Amino acid sequence: MNIGDKVRFLSEVGGGRICGFQGKDIVLVEDEDGFEIPMLRKEVVVVDDNDYDIGKVNTGTRKVVENTVKQTGKKSKQEDEDWEPADRPITFKPKAQERKGAEQINLYLSFLPENIKEISSTTFEAYVINDSNYYVQTLILKSSGAAWSALFNAVVEPNSKLFITEIERQELADWERLCIQTLAWKQDKTFMLKPALSTELRLDCTKFYKLHTFQPDEFFRGPCWTVSIVRDDKPIRTAFADAEQIKEALLSATPTKEQKPSESKPKPSKPNAQPEELVVDLHAEELLDNTDGLSSGDILMVQMKEFRKVMDENLKKKGKRIVFIHGKGEGVLRKNILQELKYRYKQCTVQDASFREYGFGATLVCIK
């Protein structure tokens, strides 16, 4: 092989002219576009100028063959022989690359504004993102009242994103309520079975008008709004209230004329509500019909007797609240009540009763 020789590639489509060497085993081949391609010596073969240029010399023959195909609808054997490998379309496609920790399905929708500075009038590019090691057949449907129509249907390769469509401003309403259905698998290898998924998604279309909605993320360097559809094999569900469903629910909840109104049931008391207070008035005129001939000590004895009676009757009622009205006076009755509570009813708590309701002359006792 010498510089200037024309060669063809053996392991792939293409060829060109030798323009140099790298060591003993590497040949530099310049293709028709002027790019230098390093190839192993054993991967190229020298061809004659006439052989290499068959496709260019016999252009008339090719035109004849093309006309024959148009007329007969069949390709001749001569046509196949006249095509150079470099002229044939590239059909090789590399296998999708898998990555560690991507064995669960994660699927996203992403929206990119074409002009972020004109957010109120710009169009948007929509993408579906497959962040997993599975091929995912993805069907996106839009709601048309009670029916649905297809927006997008394609296979999204592992760890890739696929362009869906360009959305005009007036088309945003079509993307408010979506249904996404998916089916996942791997090609040419065994894999863990994934269930077919179907989930409804509601997009808040007002976010398309808000500049802060669009931020760079792990999938796009520029401003974008990415919405999760499937996360770790589980579909993301958003609450969606249909106007007709709300109407039906309200109508079904309204009682008809034939229905009898249900009997009102007493409302259960709240667990934190305070129990009703027992009010005991210890004034002498409330306990005695006539105080003639009684000393202050006699009256105090009657008052304390009534106090002990009430306390003993309610001593087992935990949480019971008792208000004893004793009046302000000289405070003798109050001192005796506090003394009794301190030594005889130690398990009870005591405090001044509400000033708003009873003034200064009342004491509140709580049974514990």
pLDDT in tens, 157-183: 999 999 999 999 888 888 888 999 999
Q: Is the pLDDT of residue 213 over 70?
A: yes
Place of tokens 């049931």: 265
Q: Per CATH, which fold does 107-235 belong to?
A: Immunoglobulin-like (2.60.40)
Give CA 188 to chain center in angstroms.
33
- 277-366 placed in CATH 3.40.50.300: no
Residues 366, 275 contacting (CB under 8 angstroms) = no
Cross-strand bridge partners of residue 161: 129
Q: How many CA atoms does the CB half-sphere of 358 hold within 13 Å?
A: 21
DSSP H helix total and E strand total for the chain? 9, 18
Average pLDDT over residues 286-306: 84
Which residues belong to CATH 2.60.40.1600 in the chain?
107-235
- The phi, psi pair for 60, rounded to 5°, reads -65, -40
Q: Tell me what pLDDT residue 96 has.
A: 73
Mean pLDDT over all residues of the chain?
A: 79
Q: Tell me what pLDDT residue 316 has.
A: 85
**3-class secondary-structure state, position 173:** helix
Please, is 2 exposed, middle or buried when counting C-beta atoms within 10 Å of its C-beta (0-12, 13-18, 19+)? exposed
Distance CA 123, CA 168 (A): 5
Q: Is the pLDDT of residue 20 over 90?
A: no
Confidence band for 58, pLDDT divided at 50, 70 and 90 = very low
Place of tokens 């030798």: 18
Most confident of 172-186, 289-303, 329-343: 172-186
Q: Tell me what pLDDT residue 89 has.
A: 61
Residues 112, 222 contacting (CB under 8 angstroms) = yes
Residues 62, 54 contacting (CB under 8 angstroms) = no
Q: Per the structure block, which two tokens stand in for 191?
A: 């894999």
Residues 1, 27 contacting (CB under 8 angstroms) = yes
Q: Tell me what pLDDT residue 79 has.
A: 54
Q: Tell me what pLDDT residue 282 has.
A: 87
Handedness of CA 202, 205, 208, 211 (dihedral sign): negative
Q: Per the structure block, which two tokens stand in for 341?
A: 């509570």
Which residues belong to CATH 3.30.1370.110 in the chain?
277-366
Instruction: Name which of 77-81, 142-146, 208-212, 354-358 the model is least confident about.
Output: 77-81
Instruction: Tell me the CA distances in angstroms from 96 to 102, 134, 216, one per residue in order.
Output: 13, 9, 25
Confidence band for 56, pLDDT divided at 50, 70 and 90 = very low
Distance CA 159, CA 221 (A): 16
The two beta strands, 26-30 and 36-40, are antiparallel
Q: What interhelical angle do 332-343 and 296-314 show, nearest 10?
A: 40
| pLDDT, greater one: 223 or 368 | 223
Q: What is the pTM of this model?
A: 0.44
Q: Is the pLDDT of residue 194 over 60?
A: yes
Average pLDDT over residues 319-324: 88
Q: pLDDT exceeding 90 applies to what percent of the chain?
A: 23
